[in-house]
Structure 1
Amino acid sequence: MSVPVLFNGLKHHCHALRSFIRKYDTSQLTELSLSLLTIGGSQMDLYQGELPEAAICQEVIHYLTELNALSEPAYQQFLLPEQYKTIVLSDTSQWVLRLGEKETKYVHIHPGRFSPYTLRVKAATLKTAIALLIWQKGNSGAVDTATLNYLRKDVLHLSPVRKMEEMRALSDLTKLLSSDGEQ
């Protein structure tokens, strides 16, 4: 049986985002918007704990196997009556399990809201932080409003900002994503 877990690390895992940023360079900025489509346009929870993506998926599979809920029919039954369940992994982080929309990836997982080791972020801010960190690889100097708006409008197809001060959350997120924590 293939692993039926759907987990979007680009949307929900800090270490996966760092790896993504390391792989891109400034010559690829024009393709960045397409690569970030899976992030969507709303808010999400970003896991910043120590468990790698593979370990998270393995723990979920183990949990479902122990409950005999890994087959799709058993998993659908497990999710009743709310259509989702929240489980706790080895590092005390909480993960929400839902029914995935892909036939072979029916176990859809994402970090729980207000879970340990998570941060709530807006999609536009996350996309902007990713683009900014990639842009900074090939450019030196301080980032100004014009640069930020170039990235938001021309690269990411987002609305511009009036002043850099409006992007305080961006500063915090870029610091988090540029840290050296690797897995």
Structure 2
Amino acid sequence: MATIDHTQRPTIARAALPEPALFHPLKHHLGYIKAFIKEESSLSDSDIGASLVSIGTSQLDFYTGQLSPLQITNEVLFNLQQQGLLQPEAYHSYLTAAGGHYRTVTLSDTSDWVLRWGIVAGRFVHLHPARYAAQTIRVKATSLKTAIAATIAAHKVAAPTIDLDLVNDVRMKWLALPPLQVLNPSEGAGKLLALLANP
């Protein structure tokens, strides 16, 4: 089954992200994920699991601020345009000029974003939240997938609360992950469940 391209989901994001930006809001954007949960609740269990594969298995940085994916990409691209860096060669030289392969920019809400070279055709400006920056938290991908899946499952059955049994059910059936022994509200999937529950 093909995975869904979460760099371009106009039904959730309200507008396709402009080229040449490459941004994965399902991995990195709280507001996008909340909209994703509402929309994906109508899908089959297998489709939901397939949708979450793109989150991966490593740690990642997760933006909790108010800027939308479109606002974030527009601010980054405007910044680069002002510096004459929206051509691939100029952008690549900018990334590597200081001896590394990335740069960091600060946006209007004081959040910091890392710019890297994108490998998707036409989308060479790869951006994601900076590690341990303002309005950013570091999470495990499996915890994020678990929290999203459990929240969707709770919506499907109109469950008033999300308990360990529900969490472990979706971990095993949808995500092919082992069950959790505990669900701690102050860390991991438990912390993310609380974050997703907030309006």
Normalised by the size of structure 2, how large is the TM-score? Answer: 0.84
CA distance in 1, matches of 2:66, 2:159: 31
Give the one of 94, 105, 125 matched to 2:112: 94
CA distance in 2, matches of 1:140, 1:160: 19
Is 1:4–2:23 an aligned residue pair?
A: no
For the structure 1 residues 163 and 178, does the alpha-carbon distance in structure 2 shift closer, same or farther, using more than 3 Å as the test? closer
CA distance in 2, matches of 1:165, 1:13: 22
Is 1:161–2:177 an aligned residue pair?
A: no
Question: RCO greater where, 1 or 2, for CA within 8 Å and sep 6 or more?
Answer: 1
**What is the CA-CA distance between 1:179 and the residue it aligns to?**
1.7
Task: Map 1:4-153 to 2 at 5 A.
Answer: 4-25=20-41, 28-80=44-96, 81-137=99-155, 138-153=157-172
CA contact (8 A) 1:26 1:135 kept: no
CA contact (8 A) 2:154 2:161 kept: no
Letter in 2 for 1:62: F
CA distance in 1, matches of 2:112, 2:187: 27
Aligned to 1:176: 195
CA distance in 1, matches of 2:58, 2:115: 19
Letter in 2 for 1:169: G
CA distance in 1, matches of 2:118, 2:78: 18
CA distance in 1, matches of 2:185, 2:177: 14
Unaligned runs of 5+ in 1: none
Report which stretch shifted further, 163-172 or 71-80: 163-172
Unaligned runs of 5+ in 2: 1-17
CA distance in 2, matches of 1:101, 1:27: 30
What is the RMSD computed on CA atoms of the aligned residues? 1.8
